[in-house]
C-alpha cells in the first residue's frame, strides 16, 4: 500500500531542477599582451611606404609588415575598405606617420594602444599649411579644416626620428627582439645620415635660390636644406589648365625659379611650356607609395642623382 504514495510532484521537481541552467557571467579577460604570443613575428600595419621600409629594415625577420594600399594611389588620400580596416584592427601594431597623414585614421575605429605615431616626438616641428581655407556656419564661428604638411620623411633627420619611434615601439612590443631591432635601426640610421649628407651637398648651391614644387609635398625638404620653395598644384600625368599657368606666371613674377621639382616625370607638353617660362623640370619622387623598382633608399638615391645632374653638382 505504501507504493501508492504519489511521487509525481517530487519527480517533476527533480526533472525541472536537473534541466535548469543559467549562464554565468562571461569570464572577462585582460587585453592580450604581445608577449603572450611567444616568439612569433609581430604583425605590423603601416600607412605609407617609407614606414613600411623603415619597419622592415628595423624588424627584419621578426616582423611581418603589411602596407595594403594599392600601388596606383596616393596613400595620404587613400581609404581602406571595411575588410582592410579589420586587418588593421587585428595588427599587433599600426605605424602612423602623424602630421595629418592618412585622414582615414581619424574616421575609423582602431585600437589606440596599438597605434604608434612615429612623428609625435617632433610634433612641435610639424609644418602647418597656412593656406588652408577656413569656413564658418551656424553658431560655432570660424573654423578651419587646415592640415599639416605630412611628407616628414623627406627630411632624413626627421625620418631617422620616425625610425627611432618604430624601434622603441618594436622593443616595447617584443623585448626579446631588441638586439635584432637595434642592429636594423643602426644600419638604417647610418643610411639616412648618408642620404642627408648627399642631399645637403646637392642642395648646397641652391640655398636661398627660388625653387618651385609641382605639388605642396616638399615643405620638410625645403626647411631642412634651406630652400626657397613655393608650390603649385600640377599633376605629372596631366596638362595644367590655363588658369594654373596664369597663377604660375604670377608666382614667377615674384619668385623667379629656374627649376621645378616633380613627383614624377611631367608630360612633354608641360615640360615644354615650362621651358618657355624659363623653368626646367627635375624629378624628386617623395616615394609615399611602394616604387615599381628598388626601395626607398634607391629612389632617394635616384632623386639625388637627378638633382646633381640638374644643378650641375
Partner 1 sequence: MRQTLYLAWRYLSYHRVKTLILLVSITLIIYLPIGLRVLVDQSSQQLTARAAATPLIVGAKGSPLELVLNTLYFRSDYPEIMRYEQVTRVTDADLAIAIPMYVRFNAQGHPIVGTGYEYFEYRGLDIVDGRQLGMLGECVVGSRVAEALDVGPGDFVISSPESVFDLAGVYPLKMRVAGVLGFSDTADDDAIFVDVRTTWIIEGLGHGHQDLSRPEAASVVLTRDSTNVVGSAAVVQYNEITEDNIESFHFHGDISQNPVTAVIALPPDQKSSALLQGRYQGEDEPAQIVRPVNVMNELLGTILSVQSFITAGAVIVGMATLATAALVFMLSLRLRRREIETLFKIGGSRLSVASVMTSEIIAVLLAGVILAGGLTFLTGQFGSAAIRAFIRM
- In the complex, which residues of this chain contact partner 1 (CB under 8 A)? 1-2, 5, 10, 13, 16-17, 20-33, 79, 82, 85-86, 89, 103, 106-113, 131, 133-138, 140, 142-143, 145
CA distance from start to end of the chain: 119
How far apart (Å, rounded) are the C-alpha atoms in residues 272 and 86?
A: 47
Q: Which lies closer to partner 1 via its Cβ, residue 86 or residue 272?
A: 86
Q: Which lies closer to partner 1 via its Cβ, residue 21 or residue 208?
A: 21
Cβ of residue 128: shortest distance to partner 1, in angstroms? 13
Cβ of residue 169: shortest distance to partner 1, in angstroms? 12
How far apart (Å, rounded) are the C-alpha atoms in residues 95 and 102?
A: 11
How far apart (Å, rounded) are the C-alpha atoms in residues 121 and 32?
A: 27
Cell matching residue 150? 605630412
Q: Which lies closer to partner 1 via its Cβ, residue 40 or residue 143?
A: 143
Q: Which lies closer to partner 1 via its Cβ, residue 28 or residue 292?
A: 28
Cβ of residue 106: shortest distance to partner 1, in angstroms? 8
How far apart (Å, rounded) are the C-alpha atoms in residues 168 and 93?
A: 12
Q: Which lies closer to partner 1 via its Cβ, residue 9 or residue 268?
A: 9
Torsion of CA 237, 242, 247, 253, to 10 degrees: 100
Cell matching residue 163? 625610425
Helix (H) or strand (E) holding 121: none
Cβ of residue 124: shortest distance to partner 1, in angstroms? 16
Cβ of residue 300: shortest distance to partner 1, in angstroms? 31
Amino acid at each position: 500500500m505504501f507504493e501508492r504514495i504519489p511521487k509525481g510532484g517530487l519527480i517533476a521537481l527533480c526533472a525541472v531542477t536537473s534541466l535548469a541552467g543559467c549562464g554565468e557571467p562571461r569570464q572577462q579577460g585582460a587585453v592580450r599582451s604581445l608577449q603572450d604570443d611567444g616568439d612569433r613575428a609581430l604583425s605590423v600595419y603601416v600607412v605609407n611606404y617609407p614606414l613600411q621600409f623603415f619597419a622592415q629594415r628595423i624588424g627584419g625577420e621578426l616582423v611581418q609588415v603589411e602596407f595594403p594600399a594599392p600601388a596606383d594611389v596616393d596613400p595620404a588620400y587613400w581609404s581602406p575598405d571595411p575588410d582592410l580596416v579589420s586587418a588593421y584592427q587585428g595588427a599587433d601594431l599600426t605605424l602612423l606617420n602623424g602630421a595629418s597623414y592618412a585622414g582615414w585614421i581619424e574616421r575609423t575605429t582602431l585600437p589606440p594602444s596599438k597605434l604608434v605615431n612615429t612623428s609625435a616626438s617632433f610634433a612641435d616641428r610639424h609644418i602647418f599649411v597656412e593656406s588652408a581655407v577656413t569656413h564658418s556656419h551656424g553658431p560655432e564661428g570660424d573654423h578651419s579644416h587646415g592640415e599639416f604638411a605630412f611628407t616628414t620623411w623627406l627630411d632624413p633627420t626627421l625620418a631617422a626620428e620616425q625610425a627611432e619611434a618604430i624601434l622603441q615601439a618594436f622593443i616595447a612590443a617584443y623585448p626579446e627582439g631588441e638586439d635584432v631591432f637595434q642592429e636594423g635601426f643602426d644600419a638604417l640610421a647610418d643610411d639616412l645620415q648618408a642620404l642627408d649628407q648627399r642631399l645637403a651637398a646637392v642642395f648646397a648651391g641652391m640655398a636661398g635660390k627660388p625653387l618651385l614644387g609641382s605639388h605642396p609635398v616638399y615643405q620638410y625638404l625645403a626647411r631642412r636644406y634651406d630652400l626657397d620653395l613655393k608650390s603649385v598644384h600640377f599633376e605629372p600625368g596631366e596638362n595644367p589648365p590655363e588658369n594654373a599657368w596664369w597663377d604660375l606666371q604670377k608666382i614667377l613674377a615674384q619668385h623667379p625659379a629656374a627649376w621645378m621639382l616633380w613627383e614624377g616625370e611631367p608630360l612633354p607638353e608641360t615640360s615644354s611650356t615650362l621651358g618657355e617660362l624659363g623653368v626646367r623640370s627635375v624629378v624628386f619622387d617623395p616615394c609615399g607609395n611602394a616604387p615599381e623598382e628598388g626601395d626607398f633608399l634607391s629612389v632617394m638615391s635616384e632623386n639625388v642623382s637627378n638633382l646633381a645632374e640638374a644643378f650641375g653638382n
